[in-house]
């Protein structure tokens, strides 16, 4: 859907997100770890999955550990996008236990958030795999983390909608409400967008009724977004459109309703819950193999 179609966030984007998170957590250091461990103790840290999941954020977790301490060694890591079982070691790091403890929360936070998004997306995609409909995300993302969260959607099998307001034309209800006050209908809105938007961008417009669908067709919209319609009404709209435009649906789609909606023959189903309501994946970090100046080994 996005004209840029960016899948993998750049290393610069990842490092920026990591630094902001570490500044938040370590702005005044780790007073507990500093008090308890004045000397270096070497350890093995493993972040474990405690549920079946689609893993996302390993590349981010790696950067967290290395940003805290470049001497830490990443000795094992699962590929982002992999499906794992409970008990799987997602990433294993060796080094100073003080650095491992300081990196723990931020690394696990990123993995929980992004793997949660990827896992939920994979469930939505699995529910409609017998159809030709694609699952899309939205711009309902955590401020500052959009690139990472949309990447997680991609890893879960979904497709990315707009990355920003400059990435595509989408005429929504508030745009239409203002335009109607000036005497412009849905068809007129499409024509205005076509004339004023950068060349080559597809024009997408929201429709809440069959009348608005007719107006969108009259305005030669490229994509018609059917908002908060029942599957029965969507089916009528699809029959009316007759492939003269791509069809997207949105509004309150759940795992229980997504298959019924896909069976209406729409091209896309956009689901804001992928990023704004995905349950955090269950992961935690375990430390073992202690070895240091105090002579302790386990």
Answer for the pair 218, 187: CB distance below 8 angstroms, yes or no: yes
Q: 96, 204, 206, 215: which one is catalytic?
A: 206
Q: For residue 62, count other CB atoms closer than 10 A to its CB.
A: 18
C-alpha angle with apex 51: 100 to 258, nearest 5 degrees? 125
105 counts as catalytic: yes
Out of 140, 191, 194, 214, the active site residue is 140
Partners of 136 in the β-ladder: 159, 270
R_g of the chain, CA atoms, integer Å:
24
* Stretch (H or E) spanning 236: helix 231-241
CB-based contact 258:127 (threshold 8 Å): yes
Q: Which two tokens stand for residue 173?
A: 């209800």
In terms of Cα–Cα distance, which of 63, 113, 166, 164 is closest to 274? 113
Q: Which residues are 113's β-sheet partners?
A: none
Strand partners, 154: none
The one catalytic residue in 172, 180, 244, 294 is 172
Establish whether 123 is a catalytic residue. Answer: no
Q: Is 194 a catalytic residue?
A: no
The question of whether 206 is a catalytic residue gets the answer yes
Catalytic one of 15, 16, 94, 105: 105
Q: Catalytic residue at 73?
A: no
Catalytic residues: 105, 140, 172, 206, 227
């Amino acid at each position: 859907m996005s004209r840029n179609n960016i899948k993998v966030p750049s290393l610069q984007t990842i490092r920026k997100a990591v630094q902001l998170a570490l500044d938040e957590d370590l702005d005044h250091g780790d007073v507990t770890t500093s008090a308890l461990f004045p000397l270096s103790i070497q350890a093995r840290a493993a972040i474990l999955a405690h549920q079946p999941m689609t893993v996302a954020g390993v590349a981010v977790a790696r950067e967290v550990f290395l940003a805290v301490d470049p001497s830490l060694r990443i000795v094992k890591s699962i590929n982002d996008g992999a499906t794992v079982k409970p008990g799987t070691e997602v990433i294993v790091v060796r080094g100073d236990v003080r650095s491992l403890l300081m990196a723990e929360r931020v690394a696990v936070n990123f993995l929980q958030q992004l793997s949660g998004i990827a896992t939920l997306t994979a469930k939505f995609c699995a529910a409609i795999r017998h159809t030709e409909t694609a699952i899309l995300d939205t711009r309902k993302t955590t401020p500052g983390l959009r690139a990472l969260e949309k990447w997680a959607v991609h890893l879960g099998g979904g497709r990315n909608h707009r990355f920003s307001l400059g990435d595509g034309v989408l005429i929504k209800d508030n745009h239409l409400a203002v335009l109607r006050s000036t005497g412009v209908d849905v068809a007129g809105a499409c024509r205005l967008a076509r004339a004023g938007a950068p060349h080559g961008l597809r024009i997408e417009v929201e429709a809440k009724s069959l009348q608005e669908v007719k107006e969108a067709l009259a305005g030669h919209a490229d994509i018609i977004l059917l908002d908060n319609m029942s599957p029965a009404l969507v089916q009528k709209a699809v029959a009316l459109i007759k492939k003269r435009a791509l069809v997207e649906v949105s509004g309150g789609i759940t795992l229980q309703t997504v298959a019924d909606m896909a069976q209406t023959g729409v091209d896309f189903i956009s689901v804001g819950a992928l990023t704004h309501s995905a349950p955090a994946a269950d992961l935690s970090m375990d430390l073992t193999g202690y070895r240091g100046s105090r002579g302790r080994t386990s």
